[in-house]
Amino acid sequence: MNKTLHKVYVASFFIAGIASLILLSWYGYDYYRLPLTERPFSSDHASLKPSGMIGHGLGIIGTLMMAVGVSTYMIRKRVRMFYSWGYLKHWLEFHIFLCTLGPVFVLFHTAFKFGGIVAVSFWSMTAVVLSGFAGRYIYVQIPRSIKGNELSLNEIEDYRRSLDSEIKNTISKSSKLAVRLKLLFDNRDEQTPGVWASLLQPVRDYFFMKRQIHLLKSELDTEKGMAPGARKELIHAIKQRFQLERRNVILRQMQRLFRYWHIFHLPFAITMFVIMIIHVAVTLAFGYKWIF
């Protein structure tokens, strides 16, 4: 999947999610805003209540989306025979899409009314979604290959040397650019930062790199004989080199946080699915059916 296709891939998830949220909110706004005691008298009650045609359907679709999102990502990640089935990071994006939109559908399925054991499942689902965003933030701070696999220390060092060689070959005739890049790559503390500093470091680095890249582009404008394609590749390599250097500084903390995150994320996910299965079983036992 090339970069353009990947952007379309991710954009389609974003558009589908936003469009679904807007459509469901617009269609059911008058019903969902009613007090619970007045909803049975609404003309939309028969379709939007949890056991209604639309409400029940949203619950089924949302549940299937979460089940598919979790199972496909786990299979791709852990079963060796599927390692060649696309990049892991693309499967992660698919997992995030299904496991974000699925809970939205489930929320509308409940008609914003939940209690008892179902409430435990709902809040577990909420914790899973929120912790998922936190996990994604930590995940991207760990250096990875293009396929999304975590790089070893030797692989990180090899990648750094490759980027250094590419950059050096491009700027070998410019001392000004060499000084700029030394500032960009060497402006860091040698000590491993603490947990909170590690979490905030990527945000600070983003703005620092943005300023330095802006200055670098200004200096590149004065360089003669550099083709536009070479300039674009140089800037991309510099960004990759900077991110690799900064992420390497906080690598141990992020790896530790990612392990703790799994310990936090997994129990909520298991609780959510166990109660969800019980809820579906009870629904079927009482004879509630959709269009089947």
pLDDT averaged over 10-residue windows placed end to end, the chain, 292 residues: 82 94 94 91 91 91 92 86 82 90 91 79 84 80 67 72 75 63 61 70 80 77 68 78 75 78 82 86 80 62
> Domain range spanning residue 199?
153-249
Q: How many structural domains are present in the chain? A: 2
pTM tops 0.75: no
Structure tokens at 149: 């696999």
Judge if 120 and 262 occupy the same domain.
Answer: yes
Judge if 12 and 96 occupy the same domain.
Answer: yes
* Helices marked H in 1-115: 3-32, 45-48, 53-78, 88-109
pLDDT at 47: 92
Assigned domain for 271 exists: yes
CB 96 within 8 Å of CB 136: yes
CB 82 within 8 Å of CB 75: yes
Judge if 14 and 116 occupy the same domain.
Answer: yes
Judge if 188 and 272 occupy the same domain.
Answer: no
Structure tokens at 73: 């990502």
CB 90 within 8 Å of CB 8: no
CB 210 within 8 Å of CB 221: no
CB 237 within 8 Å of CB 229: no
Instruction: List C-alpha distances in Å: 74 to 78, 124, 229, 257, 260.
Output: 6, 19, 39, 20, 18
Pick the closest to residue 219 from 188, 178, 187, 186 (CA basis): 178
Judge if 185 and 124 occupy the same domain.
Answer: no
Judge if 125 and 182 occupy the same domain.
Answer: no
Judge if 131 and 31 occupy the same domain.
Answer: yes
Strand partners, 144: 150
Return the sign of the alpha-carbon dihedral for residues 207, 141, 229, 163: positive
Judge if 245 and 278 occupy the same domain.
Answer: no
Question: Which residue's entry shows tokens 């983003």?
Answer: 206
Assigned domain for 292 exists: no
- Element of type H or E holding 115: none
CB neighbourhood size of 100 (10 A): 17
pLDDT at 123: 82
Assigned domain for 238 exists: yes
pLDDT at 206: 80
